[in-house]
Structure 1
Amino acid sequence: MISEKEVQKLRDNIKELEEENTKLREEKEKINQEKEKLEKEFEEFKAKHTQTVAELRKALKIKANKTHESKPVGAKLGHQAYTRHIPARIDCIKEHKLSRCPECNTKLGATQEIRSRYVTDVKLISRVRNTRHDIHRKYCPTCEKIVEPDVPNVLPHARFGLNLMLLVMYLRLGLRLPGNKVCEFLLTMYNLTMSEGEIVHILKQLVIAFGPYYTHLEKMVKIARVKHTDSTSWRVNGKNYFAWVFIAMGVVLYKIRKRNNSKVPLSVFGKKQKGMTLVIDRHSALRALAEKAGFLLQLCWAHILDDSKGLAKNFGANGKYVHRKLKDIFAMAKSFEGKGMPEQVEALKAEIFSLTLRHYQHSTVRKFVNNLYYRDIESLFRFVTDPDVDATNNLSERKLRHLVIIRKISNGSRSQRGAHATAILLSVIQTLKFNKKNILQNLSNILKNPSGY
């Protein structure tokens, strides 16, 4: 039995807890009231200072909360099932027979039917092949010197075969593996020990080998009628550099340079580009390039609509109206599929001009619309009449993405020589990938048949 004293003590504890609970509830209610007051004041501030809040959000990279709705699991109703295709080439056929039932051990008779099952597999671990080349050197009385034959499938002064060197190049740049992961892969798959320093040396040798092909890619970009270009940040030995991409005629060309001005693309294209089209974003350096080289510009509509989307988000009805109208104009321009007439282009320009006639409360919206017409109008609709010109510069963005991922993994390059090697070798790989060719096979073909390109 609990004593009266203990019961009284419990009652006192309960009373203290109830009083504390009441006090906490009052404090919570007070905090909620203050919170509601602050939220109301902030909403009033946002309404009065829309531009300031928008710039603050952008500076702090504050993104609005997204509401996620759960989606049904599995394929959609009516979705066609997918199964792996039967291989066109069968390398080996194996027969599997039974003489007795695996369940009751009864002796079995003749085969009733044959069920075929297709299995694709690889050899998981293989050994490296070490070859000693005995090179017979002979004296040529005509040249008056010792001559010797070339060793096939081996670069000059290389300790590794061409296949292994190209595999290292593909793993390091094509698949973006760090150097230590490449070493781990070679050790696991081939029981081959290789240091990160040897990987760097291999890439240096391949830069020399692919140098003539890289020069060929530069010439292809220079003579192309329609080109794309874009740039992103890069780091070389902890210092700020810029990675450029140039795309034309199925060629993807990279350059890593100290500057982000018009001199870089000008060194690639040259000054004689009159009548040729360059697809760009709204980077001012590329406008200067167009004036110096004589380019016709096509501005990226993905960037334009992204900017107008920001106006719609931050500047109320004015911004939403501009964004909606630009989306309609772009949809109309795309509907011509590059087969439009000059009269239709003029009609689209008139639609842009009509935006400038409207009164806008916010100066940012007004400036955006005026720039779109008075500065950029001639560079907005070249894709309407030319099917070879893209309406966006998304192609350059996608090809730069590969370098961006490498930058995140390796933090850029340790030296200018390393940056140069990255640009050359990645240009070769991405050009083959862009043309949907087998990378390893065609890397070898380029070096074995220099005149083939």
Structure 2
Amino acid sequence: MSRSELERLSKEELIELVLKLHRPEKTSRTSSKPPASDRKERREKSRPGGAKPGHEGHKRALTPKPDAVVEHRPEHCPGCGAPLSATLAAEVVSLAEQIDLPQVVPHVTQHRRLAVACPGCGTRVAAPVPKAACGTPFGPRLHAVATYLKTFQALSYERLQAALSDLFGLPISQGGLMNLLRRAHGRFAEGRDAALARLRRAAVVASDETGVRIEGSNSYHWVFCCDEAVVHRAAPTRGASVVQETMAGHRPAVWLSDRYTAQQGHAARHQTCLAHLSRDVAYGVEASDDPVPWRLHLWLGSVFALAERVTDLAASTLSAKRRSLDRQLGAILATPSGCAVTRELQAKIGRARDQLLVFLDHPGRVAVTNNGCERALRLAVVQRKVTNGYRAMWAAAGEADVRTVVDTARFSGANTFATLLKTIGA
């Protein structure tokens, strides 16, 4: 802002500008900014690392069924030097384990087609082409390993190529890896469709999205969660059309998300993520001396405490508590304030007022935060930061299918790599 523009401001506008400049910066605690963007504390003020006083130590559990057991017996008595027979009764005084990995090398099977001459007519007869000789020379376990390292360990093609070469002595070109991954992605289409079918029957759905670069353009990674499935989608847009296409006309009873416009209007009712509002309130408490943000902070604390025991209370009790919380919120929102931060906060929460306590009508089925979706997006965010996105849409869509099948399988306690191997080898 130039000097002439400042001179034209009124006294009240100047005061508001100065107050705005002196407001604290937003952090991951007071906004949706990632923790990595926070300024680090000064070294002398930071907490020391290591275990805290009173912390109970932990150690590795012993393997119940070791592959080999070696017993070490004493041979001579240190007191008199007498030999100690191997037939003497012994007791175990300590156990120690040595754990290592065997050398992993590619297992190569050559399939040789043979031809023979018929002794009757002399016709040269060749064996039929074996199934293993058709298509790729790489087996399902190698496809699963490459998919795991690329999708869940966020390796670039160059690093994946180096890992397979250095760890397993297996040279594969980056073009060969691309074809390998593309084949593997196709095996997850059936599982993706099954997860979509479950999502489109769900009564409660939560969703979120995060930005990603695809083919050099700003695009988005979406996630949809319900009790039985997690569905990932890569899309070039952040618009509501992605939700409409994913849900295919199905309208759940409740939709859980943040206050983003494209996430609104997809269900009979909407539960706003209270964690997002809690961060806004935390910033209001930090940036303003007004009592309203602090009252909102206490109110949200009461809501979170109620959410933890919502399944233990009777419907009549929940109804009474809801009315009480709604009255308290109404009084807080109606409190006049001269602080711009407070007024913005009151307006934001006021617009979401009918979406804050919907979870009380569905005890135990609707969460008060969208942390489930944020956890499902975490690995995709790591992948974006490490590899800077995708060079092709097929790669983004394929990895979304892989994450869909793996995250859905986790509901039954399935291991990530086991799910990959089972799906690719099916």
Does TM, scored on the shorter chain, surpass 0.5?
Answer: yes
Instruction: Pick from 329, 352, 364 the counterpart of residue 352 of structure 1.
Output: 329
Any runs of at least 4 consecutive aligned residues in structure 1 with deviations exceeding 6 A, and if so which? Answer: 61-65, 147-150
- Report deviation, 1:414: 0.3
Q: Is the 8 A contact 1:278 1:298 kept in 2?
A: yes
Give 1:84's aligned residue.
Answer: 60
Counterparts in 2 of 1:195 and 1:447: CA distance versus 1, 3 Å: closer
Counterparts in 2 of 1:122 and 1:435: CA distance versus 1, 3 Å: farther
Quick one: distance in 2 between partners of 1:329 and 1:149?
Answer: 71
Give 1:302's aligned residue.
Answer: 275
Residue 251 of structure 2 corresponds to residue 317 of structure 1: no
TM-score (norm 2): 0.79
Give 2:215's aligned residue.
Answer: 237
Quick one: distance in 2 between partners of 1:181 and 1:349?
Answer: 55
Per-residue CA distance 1:391-438 (angstroms, 9 max, x = gap): 101111122121111011111000112221221122223334465422
Quick one: distance in 1 between partners of 2:26 and 2:321?
Answer: 37
Give 2:352's aligned residue.
Answer: 376
Residue 193 of structure 2 corresponds to residue 220 of structure 1: no
Q: Which amino acid aligns with 1:239?
A: S
Q: Is the 8 A contact 1:271 1:294 kept in 2?
A: no
Give 1:410's aligned residue.
Answer: 387
Give 2:21's aligned residue.
Answer: 53
- Identical-pair percentage: 19
Q: Is the 8 A contact 2:290 2:339 kept in 1?
A: no
Q: Is the 8 A contact 2:140 2:424 kept in 1?
A: no
Counterparts in 2 of 1:155 and 1:414: CA distance versus 1, 3 Å: farther
Quick one: distance in 2 between partners of 1:268 and 1:155?
Answer: 39
Give 2:104's aligned residue.
Answer: 126
Quick one: distance in 2 between partners of 1:330 and 1:377?
Answer: 13
Per-residue CA distance 1:186-229 (angstroms, 9 max, x = gap): 22222111222222111110121111111111111121122211
Instruction: Pick from 359, 375, 394 the counterpart of residue 371 of structure 2.
Output: 394
Q: What value does the CA root-mean-square deviation take over the aligned residues?
A: 3.4
Q: How many residues align?
A: 386
Greater RCO (Cα-Cα under 8 Å, separation 6 or more): 2
Q: Is the 8 A contact 1:174 1:429 kept in 2?
A: no
Q: Is the 8 A contact 2:206 2:373 kept in 1?
A: yes
Residue ranges of structure 1 left out of the alignment (5+ in a row): 1-44, 137-146
Counterparts in 2 of 1:438 and 1:135: CA distance versus 1, 3 Å: farther
- SS in structure 2 at match of 1:223: coil
- Report deviation, 1:93: 2.1
Q: Is the 8 A contact 2:208 2:257 kept in 1?
A: yes
Quick one: distance in 2 between partners of 1:148 and 1:387?
Answer: 60
Q: Is the 8 A contact 1:333 1:384 kept in 2?
A: no
Give 1:259's aligned residue.
Answer: 237
- SS in structure 1 at match of 2:200: helix
Q: Is the 8 A contact 2:290 2:337 kept in 1?
A: no
- Report deviation, 1:300: 0.6
Quick one: distance in 2 between partners of 1:72 and 1:239?
Answer: 43
Structure of higher CA gyration radius: 1
Residue 85 of structure 2 corresponds to residue 110 of structure 1: yes
Residue 422 of structure 2 corresponds to residue 445 of structure 1: yes
Give 1:93's aligned residue.
Answer: 69
Give 1:419's aligned residue.
Answer: 396
Residue ranges of structure 2 left out of the alignment (5+ in a row): 1-12, 28-32, 115-126
Give the structure with the larger helix fraction. 1
TM-score (norm 1): 0.75
Quick one: distance in 1 between partners of 2:129 and 2:369?
Answer: 52
